[in-house]
Amino acid sequence: MATVNLTAENFDEVAQGDGIVLVDFWASWCGPCRQFAPVYEKSSGKHDDITFGKVDTEAEPELSERFRIASIPTLMAIRDGVIVFAEPGALPEPVLENVIEQVRGLDMDDVRTRMKS
């Protein structure tokens, strides 16, 4: 599946749906972002059930501010509208795949219960 370009206009619509959404916060001038891009693209081809989105932090500064993105690349994982992972750094492919499996394995009822307490 191709990655989706996320903007201030479509972010909430994409991120608040059911299922898993991964978001790569990046910029064209960022070397580690360019290193991570092919890893992210390859992973998007392996997981048809996941939406892979990209936020260009230069073009979408309001999204960077909203999510307090201080370092790029930053990978964010959202499941069923809940942010369950956000970490800066260019992840190697095995680590990205591990994050995906962990997000898939979450008990979202448990996650929501913990959010309330």
42 is catalytic: no
Tell me whether residue 30 is one of the annotated catalytic residues: yes
Q: Domain 4-116 - what CATH class?
A: alpha beta
* Active-site choice (6, 33, 63, 77): 33
**Domain ranges across the chain:** 4-116
Q: What is the pLDDT of residues 14-69, one digit of tens each?
A: 999 899 999 999 999 999 999 999 999 999 999 999 999 999 999 999 999 999 99
Whether residue 85 is predicted with pLDDT greater than 90 in this model: the reply is yes
Structure-token match 């913990």, residue found? 114
From the list 23, 30, 78, 91, the catalytic residue is 30
User: What is the DSSP secondary-structure string of 58-107?
Assistant: TT-HHHHHHTT--SSSEEEEEETTEEEEEEES---HHHHHHHHHHHHT--
